[in-house]
Amino acid sequence: METDQLSTTLAEAIRKFEEEEMTVRPAQVTVMIGEELVLVHLKEVLSPSERALAKTDIGQAVLLRFNTLLFNSGSDPSITEQVSKALEREVIDVMTSVSPLTGSLIVVFSLGKRLDV
């Protein structure tokens, strides 16, 4: 599958997850696939209360941990498993970052070795 098609497929899976599991409709989901990582930008997914929470160091740490856990186990199969399967690569780490100003979430999947499919 081509990179553009993979990006679109992953963006739709992540959008569906956000809508069904989190009851949030992202304004936009952008997926960029690199050789060693996948970068996902979810625009405007934080609620007003999450934005307020993200303004503090402790609140931001809670949101980051929460979102990382969700991407690892919030659906069946998890988003992490879906990324791994689609790219036929091991996902070795997931990192998140939130913006209290824009309500956006950034997710970075670090990729490892190729999977034997």
Residue 66 included in any domain: yes
Q: Does residue 23 lie within any of the structural domains?
A: yes
What is the residue range of 31's domain? Answer: 3-111
pTM for the structure as a whole: 0.89
Q: Which residue is associated with the tokens 């990192």?
A: 95
What's the structural domain count of the chain? 1
Asked if residue 28 is part of any domain, the answer here is: yes
* 117 part of a folded domain: no
Burial of 80 (0-12, 13-18, 19+ CB in 10 A): buried
The 10s digit of each residue's pLDDT in 27-82 is 999 999 999 999 999 999 998 899 899 899 999 999 989 988 888 888 889 999 99
Residue 91 lies in a domain: yes
Q: Does residue 116 lie in a domain region?
A: no
Q: Percent of the chain having pLDDT more than 90?
A: 67
The answer to whether residue 13 sits within a structural domain is yes
d(CA 58, CA 28): 27
Query: Is residue 86 in a domain?
Result: yes
CA atoms within 13 A on the CB side of 62: 11
